[in-house]
Amino acid sequence: MIWLIFLLVILVTGSPDINTPPHDPPSSDLPITDLTFVRKWAAIGDSYTAGIGAGDVWSDKKEDTKCSRYDKSYVALLKHVLGPQVTNFTYTACSGARTSDIYTQAQDLDKLHDLIVLTGGGNDLCLSDIITTCIFLPFNSEEKCQKVIELAQENIKFILGYNVRRILEVAVSKVNAFGIIVWALYGQFFNTETDDCEKNQDWAFPGLAPFDALPLTRERREKLNQLVTDTNKVIKKTIEDYVMDKGKYFPRVHIRTADWNDFMKDGLKGQYCVPGSTGKYPDPMQPNLHFFKPDTTYERHTELKAKRDNITDTSFSSSADTNDTLSSFYDSILYRSPNPAAAALYELNPTGVTLPPGCPGDDKGIGFGLPDRWGKYFHPNELGHKTIASFVLDGIYAARADFLGKRNPICSRGFEEFRCWQNDGRRDYASADLLNKNYKTYCKEVKPPKNTANWKDERWFHQLTPETHSFSIQLSDGATHFDQGHCMESFERIINSCDGNDPKNPMNWKFGGRWTRGSYTYEVNIANSFKRPWPPTREVGGFCDSSYKFWYQRYDMRGRGWATWDAGQDTLKPAIISCVGHGLTGWDFQYLDQPDSDGNEWVLHLEAKYLTLSEMQSIIRALKRIRFLRAKPHQLSRSLSTTTSIPQYEPVDEEFSPGYDPKHYYPAKPGEVLADHYRLLVKIGWGSGSTVWLARDVARHAERIVALKILNNNNPKGADHERRIEEHIAKQTPSHRGRPVIRSYLENFELAGPIGKHICLAYEPSREPLWLYQRRFESDRFTLPMVKAYILIILADLKLDNILITFENENILPRFVKEQEEAQSMQCKTDSETGRVIYRCHNNFGPLDPSGLGNIYPQITDFGAATLLGTGGDDGAVQLGTRPIQPDYYRAPEVILGCGWSYSADIWNLGVMIWNILEGTELFTQVQDAEGTYLPEAHLAQMIALLGPPPKKLLVMSESMAQVEWSPAITDERGKIFKNNREYFGGPFFDEEGNFFYNDLIPARKLEDAVPSLEASDKEAFLSFIKQMLTWLPEERKTARQLMEHPFLND
């Protein structure tokens, strides 16, 4: 029996109602710095967002005092910037809040916010224990300090990512379709350049003589900094995973991180222990310190030790209205106790019970329960909040720029700054002669807008060549005027003052730079479209070879350091024609994606009559001397969209894929013609194994548009398998009632890539993935009738990315294609290793046409992981599959346990996928660690929480089949070989009695709590339906036909 298509359910043929979002799409006429779109916003999170200690308490309300919210926090600064149009502002951030508390804060928000800002995660790391044990009250041994640091690292690895994701899932449901979420990250506390902080300062709180405190060594500071780095990394990674899971684009625009750490520590030297700092606070030698701290000078601590000898009052005061001295703390039992360690630990943890590892960040210590004048230590001060506010605001602008399709402006600068990009480590370079010619052209042709302040102008030269570069002007601080002389003077200095007099650069290659002159910033940026030799070429060079072909000769030339900007049209070709006249009969010039072994950058194949090899070599010698002749920008064909550069540090599309390796992707480019008839238009999709492009059939039917899926070549067997699956489906009965919901396959062909062939599959185009369609509805969720309508096909790799929807009318696709063909630019970047150009996907076909919604229905695509199950035995029973299938979040228990799987695995897959459609979130959330590695034990733990323990029958089957050998063995993306299920997934996970080995991973969840969007009556019917799919035993799951009869789908 062939197992491909398991279930087709078409229940609703009418048009579903769509709740029109209350917010119109952003107007592209607005500048991205216009913040009037923010009318409803919220600030949630921990003490970094509460702003503990920065300024005065936010208000005299009890909650503001209890949570230590202050009026000079970054939130207060944003409130001032956002202006009076805000009608609804919620501020529930609270000092000491762990991510579980922030999750509740997010849940308590109402919907349709324009903006949510937050911080969170630090208190999940036992931060107060670290500060107490390792810094402020270091009575304990080095071992105790190391232990609490290790605990923090464990919490980062196993707890933080899950908690952050839970917050994201709730927060996304609280913003409108064009809302923005900015998650501010943390800053590293310590400079580690010298030992001054260890030798010349005393960080014990507030001084322990004659007790020996742990010195704040460079090694300890590095470990504490690493915690911050790892915390930020997990938060970023979790957001990136959310990008992958929830749709490849909306989180890139929707959710931003504000990473202010590098600017604070490298630009402003705002950390503790900076060389030259005195230990005082405020420190006259360190005006840019970004954190609150106590006085750590030895003199202060000696004075306080003397006070302790005369203490008689045993009271301990924690009122917030006392003056900012340490007297009440020193007058307490802590400082008069003969055993300060025991007293301090009691005061910091008054229950007298050790905080268990299962309760990370339970901040009953520094920063919680103590007065804010102490709790503010190791938190941003007023200057720190200004920096955070700046980066949060930049995140808002960046997201807004994406919405409006505009560039994010650089920060206004009212000072002089001259920078050379080579000093910053950039490796793209261009010819000085070419730059010196083009900047004059640019300045003469700039057309400044009338009556416009702070405008920006940018122009790219010689795109799609090794010499690609741009010139740009950015005005700020209200400037409007353009001065051509000022422009030329500025670019001349950037080009000719940078990178000169370097014996390692005898050809005087230029790397560009920036000159900020008050309100005017001039930039020269080099962004080679093809990878150039490194170190830079020191002399022009190349070679030529020839062969005799009847009445003409064929010449093969290669070169480096010349003819790198014009495809040979203004350098090579005129020189050759001058020698051979009209004897030139063939010309094929190409730039190499990366230099060859000799450093050559281009290759030319030509055919000519009566041209000797010595004549060709004479031409080469002449060209080496002149290098550039009659420089003229190379004009691109209209069919080839020009490009705008994406920064190298910004990941694009397939670069997000696990195990991404650029050399296995086909280097497709707009305008390229494949198989002699398909001209590529625009990239509309990508994945870990392919890219998808719209293409026009220019040779056979000019009006025909197709979607071309170009498969990677690192898995030839898998690519051929997918092709055979598509061919098999295409041969099936066209009248089958399920055929309309299968994407129409047209044909396939092969392409020759740089390192092997690629299979290309052609399809009828579809509108967009189901996850993007889902974003068009209120709260990013389908209505319940739509959920019932869109429960359709199951296959081994089913997920929302693999379900597309049809176009609602025949005008949508032609209109989109026309826009792409007329577009003036396409965003792209060049891979630094292979030289492959990566174009940004554009798969938003515009707003829905309400009049055609009845024509929309889902279609299934991507059969790369579909499986053919054969039959065996006299009874024709279906053979069981044993190899791993399904995406991590959708994997059925029998697949993990190695029990063998069949059709019923698809039913489980459908049951899990329904959560994406109904709730906009995953049912099983924490199945990967911070590095994206699948955790089968965590996945099983969540199954146990929702379904109860597995039956003994399943575990017996698992034990009997787990080590069945696979033939051939499986090799993962890291090159590791697995011979059976036990090696692949690990295990065993249960003992002989059926007891789970990882009970500590089982969360406190119930299936009933996982559908908060449904009313009680609908929830009961839905849970009855879903429990017939999500069962431990595969044979207990209902079949597709049985599920179609369930009342939930027929109500």
The predicted pLDDT at position 652 comes to 83
Rg of the chain over all Cα atoms, to the nearest angstrom: 33
3-state secondary structure 533-548: CCCCCCCCEEEEEEEE
**Torsions phi, psi for 522 (to 5 deg):** -110, 135
Tell me, yes or no, whether 448 and 368 share the same domain: no
Q: 304 near 330, Cβ under 8 Å?
A: yes
Rounded Cα gap, residues 862 and 848, in angstroms: 24
Domain that holds residue 703: 643-860
Report the b/e string of 943-963 with b at 16+ CB within 10 A. bbbbeeebeeebbebbbebbe
The bridge status of strand 690-697 relative to strand 512-518 is unpaired
Rounded Cα gap, residues 409 and 445, in angstroms: 22
In a domain, 17, yes or no: no
In a domain, 883, yes or no: yes
Instruction: Residue count of the chain, please give it.
Output: 1051
Query: Which domain CATH number covers 612?
Result: 3.30.1360
DSSP 680-700: EEEEEEEETTEEEEEEEETTT
* Terminal Cα-to-Cα distance of the chain (whole angstroms): 33
In a domain, 534, yes or no: no
Q: Name the one residue in this structure whose structure tokens are 């089968």.
A: 936
Average pLDDT for residues 425-443, to the nearest whole number? 90
Tell me, yes or no, whether 932 and 855 share the same domain: no
Q: In DSSP terms, which residues pair with 158 in a beta bridge?
A: none
In a domain, 152, yes or no: yes
The predicted pLDDT at position 168 comes to 93
Average pLDDT for residues 117-141, to the nearest whole number? 77
- The whole-angstrom distance between residue 315's C-alpha and the CA centroid of its chain comes to 52
The predicted pLDDT at position 655 comes to 81
Band the pLDDT of 552: cuts 50, 70, 90.
Answer: low
Band the pLDDT of 147: cuts 50, 70, 90.
Answer: confident
Least confident of 118-122, 281-285, 459-463, 889-893: 281-285
In a domain, 536, yes or no: no
The predicted pLDDT at position 578 comes to 59
DSSP 815-826: HHHHHHHH-S-E
Band the pLDDT of 283: cuts 50, 70, 90.
Answer: confident
DSSP 716-784: HHHHHHHHHHHHHHHTS-TT-TTGGGBPPEEEEEEEEETTEEEEEEEE---SEEHHHHHTTSGGG---H
Token pair in block for residue 677: 């008839």
The predicted pLDDT at position 64 comes to 93
pLDDT at 626 over 90: no
Tell me, yes or no, whether 127 and 265 share the same domain: yes
Query: Which domain CATH number covers 480?
Result: 3.30.430
The predicted pLDDT at position 53 comes to 92
Token pair in block for residue 244: 């992958």
Tell me, yes or no, whether 330 and 477 share the same domain: no
Known binding residue 386? Answer is no
The bridge status of strand 970-971 relative to strand 977-978 is antiparallel
Q: 943 near 628, Cβ under 8 Å?
A: no
Given 860, 892, 917, the domain boundary residue is 860
Rounded Cα gap, residues 121 and 138, in angstroms: 24
Q: In DSSP terms, which residues pair with 195 in a beta bridge?
A: none
pLDDT in tens, 215-262: 888 998 999 999 999 999 999 999 888 867 765 444 444 799 999 998
pLDDT in tens, 321-372: 333 333 333 333 333 333 333 333 333 333 332 233 343 334 333 333 345 6
Query: Which domain CATH number covers 950?
Result: 1.10.510.10
Given 816, 833, 860, the domain boundary residue is 860
Q: What is this structure's pTM?
A: 0.42
Q: 95 near 45, Cβ under 8 Å?
A: no
The predicted pLDDT at position 338 comes to 35
Rounded Cα gap, residues 560 and 608, in angstroms: 23
Q: 155 near 125, Cβ under 8 Å?
A: yes
Query: Which domain CATH number covers 252?
Result: 3.40.50.1110
In a domain, 632, yes or no: no
The bridge status of strand 643-645 relative to strand 826-830 is parallel
The predicted pLDDT at position 178 comes to 83
Rounded Cα gap, residues 856 and 457, in angstroms: 42
Average pLDDT for residues 433-437, to the nearest whole number? 91
Cα atoms in the 13 Å half-sphere on the side-chain side of 939: 23
Tell me, yes or no, whether 52 and 178 share the same domain: yes
In a domain, 165, yes or no: yes
| Structural domain total, the chain | 5
The predicted pLDDT at position 299 comes to 61
Average pLDDT value over all residues in the chain? 75
Biggest CA-to-CA distance, the chain: 112
Q: pLDDT over 70 for what percent of the chain?
A: 70
Tell me, yes or no, whether 270 and 343 share the same domain: yes
Tell me, yes or no, whether 756 and 849 share the same domain: yes
Tell me, yes or no, whether 429 and 561 share the same domain: no
Q: Could you tell me where the DSSP H helices lie in 407-480?
A: 432-445
Band the pLDDT of 190: cuts 50, 70, 90.
Answer: very high
pLDDT in tens, 202-213: 887 554 444 456
Give me the amino acid identity at 918. Answer: L
Greater pLDDT, 822 or 1048: 1048
Q: In DSSP terms, which residues pair with 606 in a beta bridge?
A: 555, 587
In a domain, 129, yes or no: yes
- CA 633 → CA 130, 168, 444, 653, distances in Å? 61, 48, 15, 30
pLDDT in tens, 658-714: 668 888 999 998 888 998 889 999 998 888 889 999 999 888 877 889 999 999 988
Given 795, 829, 860, the domain boundary residue is 860
Give me the amino acid identity at 786. Answer: M
Torsion angle of C-alpha atoms 446, 451, 455, 459, degrees rounded to 10 = -20
Tell me, yes or no, whether 550 and 513 share the same domain: no
Tell me, yes or no, whether 237 and 314 share the same domain: yes
- The whole-angstrom distance between residue 1030's C-alpha and the CA centroid of its chain comes to 32
The predicted pLDDT at position 875 comes to 45
Rounded Cα gap, residues 941 and 520, in angstroms: 59
705 SS3 class: strand
pLDDT in tens, 18-73: 233 345 556 556 777 788 899 999 999 999 999 999 999 999 899 999 999 999 99
* DSSP 8-state assignment for residue 668: -
Q: Name the one residue in this structure whose structure tokens are 């807004």.
A: 400
Tell me, yes or no, whether 599 and 658 share the same domain: no
Average pLDDT for residues 796-825, to the nearest whole number? 64
Give me the amino acid identity at 351. Answer: T
pLDDT at 873 over 50: no
The predicted pLDDT at position 272 comes to 93
Torsion angle of C-alpha atoms 889, 893, 899, 900, degrees rounded to 10 = -50
Cis peptide before 858 (omega within 30 of 0): no
Name the helix (H) or strand (E) containing 89: strand 88-91
Tell me, yes or no, whether 505 and 550 share the same domain: no
Contact partners, residue 1039, CB within 8 Å, separation at least 6? 903, 907
Rounded Cα gap, residues 431 and 25, in angstroms: 44
Query: Which domain CATH number covers 850?
Result: 3.30.200.20
Q: Could you tell me where the DSSP H helices lie in 920-1015?
A: 936-947, 952-961, 981-985
The predicted pLDDT at position 590 comes to 85
